[in-house]
Chain A
Amino acid sequence: MSDLRELYQEVILDHNKSPRNFREMDDPSRTSEGVNPLCGDRIKVFVKLGEDGGIEDISFQGSGCAISKASASLMSSAVKGKSREEAEALFHRFQKLVTASLDALPDVEGLGKLAVFAGVREFPTRVKCAVLSWHALNAALRGDEQPVSTE
């Protein structure tokens, strides 16, 4: 039970139920879709870039499990207003967090609410769900319009 509560924390359940920035964007600068062909999850990320190249606005649409939906929601809140470099750095930190060894305490310094995903480490089959939207964001920032796949 403790492991499960670690995975399905209140914050994740809340963002699954009422995802933030869950809408289509009228005039995005970039969009990209993340697809997990094994489970059929689809997350489309919309990004509006500011004049300085930073993420002025971000939203997402799609369907998926609680982990992928909550991750997209929390990601959108975390990167809004950030520069491209800051967003990419967060992506790498996040990837490290969800794939880190269980032997040591996870490094959550500066990750804010994203730290709730540390529990995903215990569930290797669910790591792809957690990183799906981040891969889509990464592709959107690179200007890659092809859907990105977790496979």
Chain B
Amino acid sequence: MSPTTRVEPGKRSEPAGAGFDAERVRADFPILSTTVHGKPLVFLDSAATTQKPRAVIERVDRYYRSENANIHRGVYALSETSTREYEEARHKVRAFLNARDEHEIVFVRGTTEGLNLIASCVGRSRIRRGDEVVISHMEHHSNIVPWQMICEERGAKLRVIPMNDRGELLLDEYEKLLGPKTRVVSVVHQSNALGTVNPVGEMCKLAREAGALFVIDGAQSAAHGPIDVQEIDCDFYVISSHKIYGPTGAGAVYGRRELLEELPPYQGGGDMIRTVTFEKTTYAPPPAKFEAGTPNIVGAIAMGTAIDYLAGVDRAAVARHEADLLRLATDAVSSLPGVRVIGAAREKSSVLSFVLGDVHPHDVGTILDQDGVAVRTGHHCAQPVMQFFGVPATVRASFAMYNTREDVDALVRSLERVIQIFS
């Protein structure tokens, strides 16, 4: 393993190999030079939320210091600035997802709200008694529960695409589930619990042939590779700002324009109307129709800054770097006694889920934390995945562009200590 020196924030080292220099990226993230329990922070929980680069932090600060005003209302300069910046962020999200036009981008609080919006609006207008909604066995609770709720309300049936022991969806079984009753297929692009990357293009094509809408939970995938909604040809794609280096409480739904025009509104309130009388309200066109109330203005704006930040790095090189880290970590962690890796999909990215003998993941997490190593332990809001693999919880290390081989070394050293304590 080649030793690399930690670079102090502000100082820049020359790029080393493969066209990507993680140390240089690290310098942009102030939190990565802090310590936990007196040890340098080793942040391996980016699948839960990513850390924020200085540009994003400063954008939030600048907005509140010099631009804060409500949007789409005031005729004064400050409100015009705020509105312009908010709408500019929409353009950035459009470009990030390669949507056709910015009317197809609805700002929401995050992927969870986005999926609830889709389930609610599609459910109320298109799902009837006896219809079917298809999801997969590896969904996050936020892509299970909203559909379960709407199916119960509408008298529809929820069907589940099974997976194999590697944590890959069974596409043959998926095809069999599709039929004339299928109204919606909603699947995760990349599993947060297993790291599996699903073939959404192929799955979308099959859903379309069956006449169903195709929805993608892109919470995990957006940070790890370019997304092209036109190439996938999906109807909806949902992302969270905080998983792509932006602030929490912001996210976006891409929705095909003709669908957004046809669907009923999500919530009622200010900003989503054209005219209101006590007899009748007419609605604004999309995306305003789906954005009732004052949104997280600075969240959307700084999400745009995070997208700018991503545009400034070589994303293909980032993907290679993260794949290297995953391979390295998988090899090193699997060679420890008693380790069982959960999820071995051939198409996998940035997530290493495992259990360590009969040591409970929470004990592992507490011990790792004492070494400054932050990992997620638990069911990862994917209890059906845990049930499938017969474990109550797993330890999950997840990687982002700012992680290094030294982080993997620290993880392995700390795991060796766990083994020592529990031997």
A91 contacts which chain B residues (CB < 8 A)? none
Contact B393 A123 (CB under 8 A): no
Q: Mark B214-250, 1 if CB is under 8 A from A, else 0.
A: 0000000000000000000000000000000000000
> What is the size category of the interface that chain A forms with chain B?
10 to 19
A63 touches B392 (CB 8 A): yes
B296 located at the interface, meaning its Cβ lies under 8 Å from any Cβ of chain A in the complex: no
The reply to whether B370 and A3 form a contact with Cβ atoms under 8 Å apart is: yes
A40→B421 contact, CB < 8 A: no
Residue B360 at the A interface, CB < 8 A? yes
* Interface assignment of B363: CB less than 8 Å from any CB of chain A: yes
Determine whether the beta carbon of A13 is less than 8 Å from that of B366.
no
Residues of A within 8 A of B392 (CB): 39-41, 63
Which of A1, A3, A63, A65 is B363 in contact with, Cβ under 8 Å? A65
Contact with B along A66-77 (1 / 0, CB 8 A): 110000000000
Question: A58 contacts the other chain (Cβ, under 8 Å)?
Answer: no
Q: Does more than half of chain B's interface fall in helix, strand or loop, or is it mixed?
A: helix
Collect the chain B residues with CB atoms within 8 Å of residue A66's CB.
359-360, 363, 422
Interface presence of B396 (CB below 8 A): no
**Known interface pairs A8-B421, A64-B360, A66-B360; A123-B366 also in contact (CB < 8 Å):** yes
State whether the Cβ of B378 lies closer than 8 Å to any Cβ in chain A.
yes
Q: Residue of B at shortest CB range from A4?
A: B370
8 pairs of residues in contact across A and B, judged by CB atoms under 8 Å: A4-B421, A7-B366, A8-B363, A13-B422, A38-B378, A41-B362, A41-B392, A123-B366
Q: Does B410 contact A (CB under 8 A)?
A: no
Q: Give the B interface residue count (CB, 8 A).
A: 18
CA distance in complex: A38, B370 (Å): 21
A72 to B89, CA, bound (A): 53
B residues less than 8 Å from A7 (CB atoms):
366
Kindly state whether residue B103 has any CB partner on chain A within 8 Å.
Answer: no
User: Does A43 lie at the interface of the complex (its beta carbon under 8 Å from any beta carbon of B)?
Assistant: no
Whether, in the assembled complex, A96 has its beta carbon less than 8 Å from a beta carbon of chain B, the answer is no
Asked if B379 CB lies within 8 Å of chain A CBs, one says: yes
Contact flags (1/0) for B352-374 with A, using CB distance below 8 Å?
A: 00000001111100110010000
**Chain A residues near B360 (CB, 8 Å)?**
64-66
**CA–CA, A4 and B371, complex, Å:** 10
Determine whether A129 belongs to the interface, using a CB cutoff of 8 Å to chain B: yes
Taking CB atoms, residues of chain B closer than 8 Å to A1 are 370
Across the interface, do A126 and B366 meet the contact criterion of CB distance under 8 Å? yes
**Complex: chain A residue closest to B367, CB-CB:** A4
Taking each of A3, A8, A38, A65, which has the highest tally of chain B beta carbons within 10 Å of its own beta carbon? A65
Known: A4-B421, A8-B421, A13-B421. A67 touches B393 (CB 8 A): no
* Also in contact, A39 and B393, with CB within 8 A (given A65-B360, A66-B359): yes
If A39-B361, A41-B362, A65-B360 are given as contacts, then 7 extra A-B residue pairs at C-beta distance below 8 Å, sorted by A number, are A4-B370, A8-B422, A13-B422, A39-B362, A40-B379, A66-B360, A67-B362
Contact B370 A126 (CB under 8 A): no
Closest A residue to B377 by CB, please name it: A39
Question: 1/0 per position for A52-91, CB-CB distance to B under 8 A?
Answer: 0000000000011111000000000000000000000000
- Distance A65 CA – B392 CA, assembled complex (angstroms): 10
A129 to B367, Cβ gap below 8 A? Answer: no
- State A13–B386 Cα separation when bound (angstroms): 25
Rounded to whole angstroms, the CA-CA distance of A73 and B366 in the bound complex is 21
| A61 shortest CB reach to chain B, Å | 14
Closest residue of B by beta carbon distance from A1: B370
Q: In whole angstroms, what is the CA distance A13 to B359 when docked?
A: 11
Q: How far is the CB of B99 from chain A (nearest CB, A)?
A: 37
What 0/1 pattern do residues 375 to 396 of B give for CB contact below 8 A with A? 0011100010010000011000
Quick check: A125 and B379 within 8 Å, CB to CB? no
B65-106 interface code vs A (CB 8 A; 1 in, 0 out): 000000000000000000000000000000000000000000
Whether A129 contacts B362 by the Cβ 8 Å rule is: yes
Interface contact A125-B366, CB-CB below 8 Å: yes
Distance in angstroms from B381 CB to nearest chain A CB is: 11
Residue among B359, B366, B421 with most chain A CB within 10 A: B366
Taking a contact as CB atoms under 8 Å apart, the answer to whether A67 and B378 are in contact is no
- Nearest residue (CB) in B for A7 is B366
Closest to A37 in B: B379
Closest-CB distance, A6 to chain B (whole angstroms): 11
The 3 closest A-B pairs by CB, nearest first: A65-B360, A65-B362, A40-B392
- Which residue on B lies nearest to A129, using beta carbons? B362
A19-54 residues with Cβ-Cβ distance < 8 A to B are: 38-41
Tell me, rounded to whole Å, the shortest Cβ–Cβ distance linking A65 to chain B.
Answer: 4
Q: How long is the Cα–Cα vector from A64 to B363 in the complex, in angstroms?
A: 10
Q: Which of B317-372 contact A (CB under 8 A)?
A: 359-363, 366-367, 370
- In the bound complex, how far is the Cα of B377 from the Cα of A67, in angstroms? 15
CB distance from B382 to the nearest CB of A (A): 12
